[in-house]
Amino acid sequence: MNKVLVLIIEDEPSILNNISIILKISGFECLKASSGSEAFLILETQQPNLILCDVMMPEMDGFEVLKKIRENEKTKELPFCFLSARADVVDINFGLFNGANGYITKPFSAKDLVDTVKKLLPSI
């Protein structure tokens, strides 16, 4: 079985790093991007199985990233999950309404993170 590749987009370096470690321990491969534009550079060469993306980021925010992902023929079917400090129901619904497949609120436990990622992955 091929390793599952997860693209993490997060502007806060410590969080980016920690998520990557947790997922790696759980057996996932990770690609790290500290901004939206960096993520699209990676997507030119790599094909992740899932994207985890922060909402509040400078320059390009999470919603813009999602919009671009959905517009691209190559990535439009990719499972996409928001990671956000905006924990209000309104924010969660807004994210899901805009086409995200999942929404994880900060702070999260390692178990929640891994379970959500597994749940969102297409059954192999």
Partner 1 sequence: MTQKKSTLHASFELDVSLDFLFESVEHGVLIENTNREVEFMNQFFCDTFNIKFSPAYLYLSNTLINSKKFSSQFEKFEEFEKSLYEIPKNIEIVRDEKWTLTNGTKVLRDYIPIFKVNELKGHIWVFKIERLCPKKFLTENPTELIENALHLLPGEIAIFNTEAKILFANQAYISNNEKRLWAIGKTVVQYFSYENLSNEIALNRLENIKKTIEQKLPFSWEETNVKAKQNNEYFLRTCYPVIKSNGELESVIEQSINITQQKYLERQLNLQIEQFFTTLNSLNDIVLLTDGELKLQFINKSWENITGHKLEEFKGKSVFDILAVTRYELYGKIFAILSGEYSEKKGMLAIKQKDGNEKHLQYNLQPSFSVDDSKKGILATLTDITHQHLQESKLLELVKREKELNELKTAFVNMVSHELRTPLTVISSSAEILDLMIQSGSSYDEVTVFTKQIIDEVEKMTAFMQDLLMVSKIEAGKIEINTKETDIILFVEKLINSSYNPWKDGRKVELSTKRTSKLADVDEKMLTHALQNLLQNALKYSVGKDNPKVRICFSQTYFTISVLDNGIGIPEQDMMNLFTSFFRATNTGNISGTGIGLIVTKYFTEQHKGYVAAKSIMNKGSIFTLRLPYHH
User: Shortest gap between Cβ of 123 and partner 1 (angstroms)?
Assistant: 27
**Strand 29-33 and strand 50-54: pairing?**
unpaired
Q: Considering CB under 8 A, how many residues would be counted as binding partner 1?
A: 23
Residue 57 engages partner 1 in binding (rule: CB under 8 A)? yes
Residue 41 engages partner 1 in binding (rule: CB under 8 A)? no
Please give the Cα distance from 43 to 75 (Å, whole number).
9
Stretch that binds partner 1, among 18-26, 38-46, 74-82, 115-123 (CB under 8 A): 18-26
Amino acid at 113: L
Nearer to partner 1, 27 or 122 (CB): 27
Look at the block and give the residue holding tokens 């899901």. Answer: 96
Member of 44, 73, 89, 107 binding partner 1 (CB under 8 A): 107
Stretch that binds partner 1, among 37-45, 56-64, 71-79, 93-101 (CB under 8 A): 56-64
**Strand residues in 1-70 grouped as ranges (E):** 5-9, 29-33, 50-54
Residue 93 engages partner 1 in binding (rule: CB under 8 A)? no
Residue 123 engages partner 1 in binding (rule: CB under 8 A)? no
Reduced to 3 states (helix: H, G, I; strand: E, B; else coil), residue 56 is coil
- Nearest Cα to Cα of residue 46 among 68, 24, 29: 29
Would you state the structure tokens that stand for residue 23, as one six-digit string? 């997922």
Member of 59, 73, 89, 124 binding partner 1 (CB under 8 A): 59
